[in-house]
Structure 1
Amino acid sequence: MNAPRIAVVTGASRGAGKGIALALGATGATVYVTGRTTAESSSALPGTVAQTAEEISRRGGTGIPMIVDHSDDTQVEALFEQIRAEHGRLDILVNNAITIPKALTRKGPFWDKPLTLTDMFDVGMRSAYVAAYYAAPLLVANGSGLVVNTSSFGGSCYMHGPAYGVGKAAVDKMAHDMAVDFKPFGVAAVSLWMGLLKTERTVAAFEADPEMYEGLAASAESVEFPGRIIAALARDEKLMDRTGQVLIGAEIAEELGVADVDGNQPPSHRPFLGDPPTFSAAVVD
C-alpha cells in the first residue's frame, strides 16, 4: 500500500498504547489515539492523548487525539464513524485500552481483593470486542488489515489473580475466533503477548526499589517495542499465515528482525511463564 496506513490505538495516553502509537506514527501512519486523559492533572501518571498525538506528528506521522471512554459504546461507534467519514477505511486496529485497578497487584487471594477488579472485564475484555465490531466494516472494505489485541503471559499462567487472567485469556481467544470471520476478507487478527514494559507505572516502581527490581529492569522492553513488532507484522507477507494465533512479542520480533529502541533483542519469557495456547482448528457455525 502506497498511501499512509490508517491506524487506531486504544488506550494510548501513556504506557504500551502510547509506545505502540508512536512506533506506528514513525512509519508515517495516520494514528487515531484514544483515551480519557485530557490533562495531566487528572491522572497520577503523566501523559494525555493530545501529547501522544503531537509526538506522532513530530515523528513524521499524523496523530489525531480522540477522547473516548471505551466503556461507552456510543463513543466507540462515533470514533469509527469519524474514521469512515474522513478516510473510508482502516488498516490497523490495536486493542490496548484497559482499566488498571489500584488493587491489581496486591498480594493475596481474589476474595480479599475488591470486586472492582472485574472492571477489567469491561474496559479490557469487552471493549476489545466492541472496538473490533465497529472497526470490522472498515477493515473488510480494504480487503486487508490487521487487528491486534495486546495481551500477556497472564493468559496462560497465574498472574495477578483470576480477574486479570480471565481478561487476557479472553482477548487471546477473541483474536482466534475473530480471525475465522475475518479470513475470507484478507484481514488478520492476532493476540500479542508483551513482556514487562518500561511504562510510567513500572519505571516508578523500579525507581522506588531499585534493588528489588534490578533483575527485571534489565530485561524490560521499551513501550515502543510492541509497536515496532505490530508495524512489522502489518508489512509481513506471511501475515495471513499467522492469523488467529497468540504471538510472543519477543519471539516474533526476532523472526521479523525487529529490535528494541536501544538495539537490543529482548528475551522471550516462554521458559519461565509458559507457552501460548493452541486452539482447535474446528469451526462450528
Structure 2
Amino acid sequence: MSWTPDTEALRGRVAVVAGATRGAGRGIAAALGEAGATVLCTGRSSRAGTLRSDYGGRPETVEDTAELVTELGGTGVAVPVDHLDSAQVAALAERIRRDHGRLDVLVNDIWGGETLTGGPDNWNTPLWELDLDPGLRLLRLAVDTHLITSHHLLPLLVERPGGLVVEMTDGTTAHNAERYRLSVFYDLAKTSVNRLAFSQGHELAAHGGTAVALTPGWLRSEMMLEHFRTTEETWRDSLRPGPDGEPPSAPADFALSETPRYVGRAIVALATDPERTRWNQRSLDVGSLAREYGFTDVDGSQPDSWRYIEEVQEPGLAADYADFR
C-alpha cells in the first residue's frame, strides 16, 4: 500500500506528548514530528538524571525522543517532568504559554506500570492476594498523572477551538466492558482512562474541542522487543524456529504487532481531520482508524490485532495473519 506522511500537515501546531520517553509515547512524538509539529516531549527519564523513573536503569530519555522528532522534520523539545507532581506540570503549562503561546494537541500517554503489573504468572490473582502498595501505585501512575496533566494544560488547549486530547489506554471501552484485564488494578486503570476521555470530551465540546481514548495494538516497544530477544530489524525472525530447532521466541500472534509510530500516525490523522469532533468522547483503536484514514505503519502494512482478537482469536477460528495486516 502506497502512503507517505505529509511533512507539513501539522506545521505550526504545538503538541505535548506526556510520557514520551519510550514505547507508544516515543512513537507518537515521532509521528507528530514527521508531520511537522512542535512537540514537547515529557517524562522522568532524562540525561539530566534529576527525576526517578519506575523504569530505572533503562537507557531511553526524553532528549532522545526530542532529537528524533527534530530529525523527522518537526521541532522536538525535551522537558523532564514528573506528572504526579502538580507543581512540575503547572511549570510545564507556564513554559508552553511563554515559549509557544498555544497548545493544539495533548496526548496523555503516562504509564510506567509495566513492572507493577507483573508477568503472566501474576495475572488473574485475586485482589486479596495481591500486594496493595504496588497496585495503588499503578493506579496513581495510570490515572492521577492524566488528571493532573489535563488539569494544568487544558486551559491552554481551550483558548482556541479545535484542540485535541488523546487518552492512551489498552483496549476499547467495548472490549474492556466484557473482559477482565489481567488484575483488578490493571483492569481499573484501563477502564478509568477510557472513561476519562469520555468525561473530558463532554467538557471540551462547548469549546470546540475533541477528546478520545485510543488503544494501539500489540506494540513492538523497546521492552517488548527485548522480551522476545529480537530487534525492530529482525523481529520477524522471532516467529521462526531457531537454527537448532528451538521454538520461536515470540508467539504466532506477534505477526500482527506494530511499531509505535503506527499509533502516532493515527493521532496525526485525527489532528488533521477538520471534522474530528465526530469522534468526540469515542473509544478508538489504531487498526480501525488506519482503515478509516488510509495511513500505514512504517513498512506499508495496516496491522489490526484488535480485529483479529474480536473476529478470530476469541471465537477460535483459523485465519491467515496476513489477512489482518
Q: Is the TM value for this pair above 0.5?
A: yes
3-state SS of paired residue (1:224): helix
Residue 296 (structure 2) aligned to one of 245, 259, 281: 259
Name which of structure 1's ranges 154-163 and 78-87 shifts more when overlaid on structure 2. Answer: 154-163
Residue 44 (structure 2) aligned to one of 36, 39, 57: 36
Q: Which residue of 2 aligns with 1:7?
A: 15
2: CA distance between counterparts of 1:29 and 1:154?
Answer: 27
In the TM superposition, residue 268 of structure 1 has moved relative to its aligned partner by: 4.1
Whether the aligned pair in 2 keeps the contact of 1:190 and 1:246 (CA below 8 Å) is yes
Alignment of 1:138-153 (within 5 A): 138-153=156-171
Q: Which residue of 1 aligns with 2:86?
A: 73
Whether the aligned pair in 1 keeps the contact of 2:172 and 2:285 (CA below 8 Å) is no
Alignment of 1:21-100 (within 5 A): 21-39=29-47, 43-100=56-113
Structure 2 unaligned blocks of 5 or more: 1-8, 231-237, 240-247, 312-325
User: Residues 79-110 of structure 1, C-alpha deviation per residue, up to 9 Å, x if partnerless?
Assistant: 01110111221000000011225241332404
What code does the residue aligned with 1:217 have? Answer: F
In the TM superposition, residue 3 of structure 1 has moved relative to its aligned partner by: 5.1
What code does the residue aligned with 1:257 have? Answer: G
Residue 114 (structure 1) aligned to one of 122, 131, 134: 131
What code does the residue aligned with 1:55 have? Answer: L
Query: What is the root-mean-square deviation of aligned Cα atoms in Å?
Result: 2.2
In the TM superposition, residue 159 of structure 1 has moved relative to its aligned partner by: 2.4
Residue 158 (structure 1) aligned to one of 166, 180, 183: 180
2:64 counterpart of 1:17: no
2: CA distance between counterparts of 1:120 and 1:2?
Answer: 33
What code does the residue aligned with 1:62 have? Answer: T
Residue 239 (structure 1) aligned to one of 252, 276, 285: 276
Q: Which residue of 1 aligns with 2:233?
A: none
Q: Which residue of 2 aligns with 1:280?
A: none
2: CA distance between counterparts of 1:254 and 1:260?
Answer: 12
What code does the residue aligned with 2:71 have? Answer: R
2:145 counterpart of 1:127: yes
Closer, same or farther: CA 206–123 of 1 in aligned 2, 3 Å: same
Name which of structure 1's ranges 191-200 and 1-10 shifts more when overlaid on structure 2. Answer: 1-10
3-state SS of paired residue (1:207): coil
2: CA distance between counterparts of 1:9 and 1:2?
Answer: 14
Q: Which residue of 2 aligns with 1:202?
A: 224
In the TM superposition, residue 158 of structure 1 has moved relative to its aligned partner by: 2.1
Closer, same or farther: CA 174–112 of 1 in aligned 2, 3 Å: same
Whether the aligned pair in 2 keeps the contact of 1:224 and 1:260 (CA below 8 Å) is yes
Whether the aligned pair in 1 keeps the contact of 2:117 and 2:138 (CA below 8 Å) is no
3-state SS of paired residue (1:127): helix
Q: Which residue of 2 aligns with 1:188?
A: 210
2: CA distance between counterparts of 1:118 and 1:273?
Answer: 30
2: CA distance between counterparts of 1:158 and 1:224?
Answer: 28
Whether the aligned pair in 1 keeps the contact of 2:164 and 2:209 (CA below 8 Å) is yes
In the TM superposition, residue 181 of structure 1 has moved relative to its aligned partner by: 0.9
Closer, same or farther: CA 44–111 of 1 in aligned 2, 3 Å: farther
Q: Which residue of 2 aligns with 1:281?
A: none
- TM-score w.r.t. the length of structure 2 is 0.79
Residue 220 (structure 1) aligned to one of 250, 257, 276: 257
What code does the residue aligned with 1:201 have? Answer: M
Name which of structure 1's ranges 121-130 and 174-183 shifts more when overlaid on structure 2. Answer: 121-130
User: Residues 231-275 of structure 1, C-alpha deviation per residue, up to 9 Å, x if partnerless?
Assistant: 01011132101100001111011111111111001114145259x
1: CA distance between counterparts of 2:130 and 2:249?
Answer: 24
2: CA distance between counterparts of 1:273 and 1:161?
Answer: 21
1: CA distance between counterparts of 2:116 and 2:250?
Answer: 19
Whether the aligned pair in 2 keeps the contact of 1:40 and 1:48 (CA below 8 Å) is no
Structure 1 unaligned blocks of 5 or more: 275-285
Closer, same or farther: CA 247–2 of 1 in aligned 2, 3 Å: closer
